[in-house]
């Protein structure tokens, strides 16, 4: 298989989930004590987050680019960014990286299309919900993306940064997210993208009245299929 390079640490919780999914699914395929060839370049989330808050995306881009170069130097043959928000600069990023990369938006869009869904809600960090990279990517698949109202966006974002990135999982936040999803459904959403790689730690299909799309799992499985192929 191809050696997988992971740009991680954004946050550590989601990076752990990527690692667990990749190892478990690879072992199910290969059996025995098999585990995939992986390299992780773990970044400092605090530095990256502060730059995003300052809207210093060019500096964020340079940090991610350096991480990808580190992975290439270490022998990575396929690379993924283990987070949603940084995919804001994915298109620009792929223009400078020779190593194949897998987009979290494409992996998610393909799963949504398989369900026959054409209108989905999007949960994520405030940076993700207020940007248009998901809308632009999914529109190519004929999928419309809608986001929560401003108050719900702020609530979802706060839970991500103050709880989920620290693996704090509460029943109160689970109920709060479920209510946000219900309001997205009332706006016409046929499904909901868990567009922050920590959200699947809190929300599963049992917590939603509409299909959920776990971007962490979808992305990890997409890169594994590519690496094995």
pLDDT at residue 229 above 90?
no
Is 128's pLDDT higher than 90? yes
Q: Let me know whether 156 and 86 are in one domain.
A: no
Co-location of 19 and 97 in the same domain: yes
Note whether 89 and 139 are same-domain residues. Answer: no
Is 196 one of the catalytic residues? yes
Please answer whether residues 144 and 119 qualify as being in contact, where contact means their C-beta atoms are separated by less than 8 angstroms.
yes
pLDDT at 95: 85
**123 φ, ψ to 5°?**
-110, 145
Q: Residues 209, 114: one domain?
A: yes
What average pLDDT does range 185-213 have in this prediction? Answer: 97
Active site residue 204: no
Work out how many domains the chain is built from and give that number.
2
Of 12, 34, 10, 39, nearest in space to 23 by CA: 34
The reply to whether 194 and 156 lie within a common domain is yes
- Torsion, Cα 6 10 16 21, to 10 degrees, reads -60
Position 94 scores a pLDDT of 85
Provide the pLDDT confidence category of residue 106 given band limits of 50, 70 and 90: very high
What percent of the chain is predicted at pLDDT more than 90?
A: 96
pLDDT number for residue 147: 98
Q: Confidence band (pLDDT; 50, 70, 90) for 29? A: very high
Is the bond preceding residue 11 a cis peptide, omega within 30 degrees? Answer: yes
pLDDT of 93 above 90: no
**Distance between CA atoms of residues 78 and 55, nearest Å:** 28
CB 36 within 8 A of CB 22: yes
Among 128, 165, 196, 216, the one annotated catalytic: 196
pLDDT at 172: 98
Active-site entry in 15, 83, 108, 165: 83
For residues 212 and 174, what is the distance between their CA atoms, to the nearest angstrom? Answer: 14
Cα–Cα distance for residue pair 121/31, rounded to 1 Å:
37
Structural domain boundaries enclosing 82 = 4-103+217-228
Q: Are 82 and 7 in contact (CB under 8 A)?
A: yes
CA distance 19 to 15: 6
Dump pLDDT digits (tens) for 168-188.
Answer: 999 999 999 999 999 999 999
Q: Are residues 224 and 204 in the same domain?
A: no
CA distance 143 to 166: 32
Full-prediction pTM beyond 0.85? yes
Angle at 105 between CA 100 and CA 107, to 5 degrees: 70
Residue 12 CB partners (closer than 8 Å, separation 6+)? 42, 45, 165
**Residues 31 and 75 placed together within one structural domain of the fold:** yes
For residues 128 and 38, state if they share a domain: no
- The answer to whether residues 60 and 148 belong to one domain is no
- CATH code at 38? 3.40.50.1860
* Cα 115 to chain centroid, rounded: 19
Angstrom distance (rounded) from CA 149 to CA 102: 30
């Amino acid at each position: 298989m191809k050696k997988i390079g992971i740009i991680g640490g954004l946050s550590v919780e989601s990076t752990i989930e990527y690692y667990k999914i990749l190892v478990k699914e690879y072992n199910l395929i290969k059996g025995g004590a098999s585990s995939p060839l992986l390299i992780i370049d773990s970044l400092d989330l605090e530095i990256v987050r502060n730059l995003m808050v300052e809207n210093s995306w060019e500096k964020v881009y340079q940090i991610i680019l350096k991480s990808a170069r580190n992975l290439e130097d270490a022998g990575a043959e396929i690379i993924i960014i283990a987070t949603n928000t940084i995919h804001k600069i994915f298109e620009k990023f792929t223009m400078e990286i020779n190593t194949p990369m897998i987009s979290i938006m494409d992996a998610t869009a393909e799963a949504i299309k398989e369900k026959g869904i054409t209108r989905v809600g999007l949960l994520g960090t405030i940076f993700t919900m207020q940007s248009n990279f998901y809308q632009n990517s999914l529109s190519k698949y004929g999928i419309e993306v809608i986001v929560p109202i401003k108050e719900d966006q702020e609530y979802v974002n706060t839970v991500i940064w103050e709880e989920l990135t620290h693996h704090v999982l509460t029943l109160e936040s689970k109920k709060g997210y479920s209510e946000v999803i219900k309001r997205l459904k009332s706006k016409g959403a046929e499904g909901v993208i868990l567009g922050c790689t920590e959200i699947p730690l809190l929300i599963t299909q049992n917590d939603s009245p509409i299909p959920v799309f776990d971007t962490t799992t979808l992305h990890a499985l997409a890169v594994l299929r590519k690496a094995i192929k």
